[in-house]
Amino acid sequence: MSRIFVTGGSGRLGRSVVAGLAAAGHEVFSVDRDAIPAEQLPAGAVQYTADLLAPGEAERLIRETAPDAVIHLAAIAVPFSAPEDVIFSTNTRLAFAVISAATEVGVRRIVTASSPTALGYGCPEGWLPPSFPLDENTPATPWNAYALSKLIAEQTIRMFAAAQGDKIRYAAFRPCYVISPEEWEGALTQQGHTVRERLADPSLSAPALFNYVDARDVADFLDVLLAKMDSIPNGQTFFVGAKDALAAAPLSELLPQFLPGSGPLTEHLTGTSPAFSIEKARTLLGWEPKRSWRTELTPPFDGADTAVLKDENNRGLVPAGATSKETA
């Protein structure tokens, strides 16, 4: 059992991370500006309400709780949901404040959330990667302040790893479009649609290249990562996604319709293959996602729903301003 300090613990992803790590037997300190309703706080978790950008606040709380590990999730999590300079400065300052405070206190394992958007998909000027599936070696070309702030959070991790050597272990992870448990039951996902709507209308998931992950699988990933951090190279970044795509048709059919020019690159994404590879997390950590929309949606998604909407497929990757707000 470890003592784990989680920032952003009241958020869409944070609630499942706090619950999952507490259920795994850890003592969890959830820190957020907003509180989790007391009746929803899992056994084994304690929460603190705080603004982590207030001077000295991150270090004060980390000293007080004396954790073995810090997981930094707190951020403005939706691109263009605030002015670009506000997103940039909030996310980069939060990452630096929390990572530097944890380093100063001597916490042994420090992890930050990044985002797949760091790669740059959805760019109105066009975007194509060298190859699919996308992985940690795919060049990152962020085109908005959110994506850039996430790449800087990764670089912040690498900077501290370089300065500290292996005394302190650092890592970053890029969760795909997070689906929290209540969203399988019909609650709205981050972009304001249900999972069923995203499956029925491929244009909704196309901006994020049909990526997704169950929030509980991210909690499992973090538990495994913290256990293995001492035995892997320092300062690594990992994609964390489901093993399939959030799509009822193969991506070899869907991606060329939404991502102009991607046809020759995506021919091999047949069956249920996702656009993002989680091979690095599998190989280095032995982590495997357990949940898929195929197992979690009840009743199961009826593929016949998509027939009506397949006519709409001839859209650009960012057909309207709203789609460029996609997080994952």
Ligand X SMILES: NC(=O)c1ccc[n+]([C@@H]2O[C@H](COP(=O)([O-])OP(=O)(O)OC[C@H]3O[C@@H](n4cnc5c(N)ncnc54)[C@H](O)[C@@H]3O)[C@@H](O)[C@H]2O)c1
CA-to-CA distance for 126 and 154, rounded, in angstroms?
24
Tokens of 289: 């996602």
Q: How far is the CB of 299 from ligand X (least distance, A)?
A: 25
- Which one of 4, 5, 10, 101 is in contact with ligand X (CB under 6 A)? 10
For ligand X, the closer CB: 35 or 224: 35
Residues that contact ligand X, how many (by CB under 6 A): 25
Which one, of 137, 141, 173, 136, lies nearest residue 154 by Cα? 173
CA-to-CA distance for 218 and 328, rounded, in angstroms?
14
Q: How far is the CB of 24 from ligand X (least distance, A)?
A: 19
For ligand X, the closer CB: 111 or 254: 111
Query: Judged by CB under 6 A, does residue 71 bind ligand X?
Result: no
- Which one of 53, 123, 159, 249 is in contact with ligand X (CB under 6 A)? 53
Q: How far is the CB of 35 from ligand X (least distance, A)?
A: 10
- Which one of 4, 5, 6, 8 is in contact with ligand X (CB under 6 A)? 8
Q: How far is the CB of 209 from ligand X (least distance, A)?
A: 13
What count of other Cβ atoms lies within 10 Å of the Cβ of residue 310? 15
For ligand X, the closer CB: 28 or 94: 94
Q: What is the contact mask toward ligand X in residues 182 to 221, using x (rule: CB under 6 A)?
A: --------x-------------------------------
Which residues, at least 6 apart from 229, have a Cβ–Cβ distance to it below 8 Å? 109, 111, 169, 171
Query: Judged by CB under 6 A, does residue 178 bind ligand X?
Result: yes
- The DSSP bridge pattern shows strands 169-175 and 178-179 to be unpaired
- Which one of 4, 5, 6, 13 is in contact with ligand X (CB under 6 A)? 13
CA-to-CA distance for 186 and 312, rounded, in angstroms?
23
CA-to-CA distance for 1 and 309, rounded, in angstroms?
49
Task: Give, in degrees to the nearest 5, the angle at Cα 307 between 303 and 309.
Answer: 110
Query: Judged by CB under 6 A, does residue 122 bind ligand X?
Result: no
Query: Judged by CB under 6 A, does residue 77 bind ligand X?
Result: yes
**171: amino acid identity, one letter:** A
Query: Judged by CB under 6 A, does residue 52 bind ligand X?
Result: yes
CA-to-CA distance for 199 and 205, rounded, in angstroms?
8
Q: How far is the CB of 163 from ligand X (least distance, A)?
A: 23
Q: How far is the CB of 179 from ligand X (least distance, A)?
A: 8
Q: Which of residues 14-43 bind ligand X (CB under 6 A)?
A: 14, 32-34
Q: Which burial class, exposed, middle or buried, applies to 154 when counting CB atoms under 10 A from its CB (0-12, 13-18, 19+)? A: buried
For ligand X, the closer CB: 53 or 232: 53
Query: Judged by CB under 6 A, does residue 113 bind ligand X?
Result: yes
Which one, of 25, 41, 80, lies nearest residue 227 by Cα? 25
Q: How far is the CB of 190 from ligand X (least distance, A)?
A: 5
What count of other Cβ atoms lies within 10 Å of the Cβ of residue 54? 11
Query: Judged by CB under 6 A, does residue 262 bind ligand X?
Result: no
Interacting span for ligand X (CB under 6 A) from 59-67, 68-76, 131-139, 243-251: 68-76
Q: How far is the CB of 304 from ligand X (least distance, A)?
A: 28
Which one, of 91, 89, 95, lies nearest residue 78 by Cα? 91
> Residue 18 in contact with residue 218, Cβ under 8 Å?
no
CA-to-CA distance for 96 and 177, rounded, in angstroms?
24
- Which one of 73, 134, 171, 246 is in contact with ligand X (CB under 6 A)? 73
CA contacts within 13 A on the Cβ side of 34: 11
Judged by the rule CB under 6 A, the positions of this chain that interact with ligand X are: 8, 10-14, 32-34, 51-53, 73-75, 77, 94, 113, 115, 175, 177-178, 190, 327-328
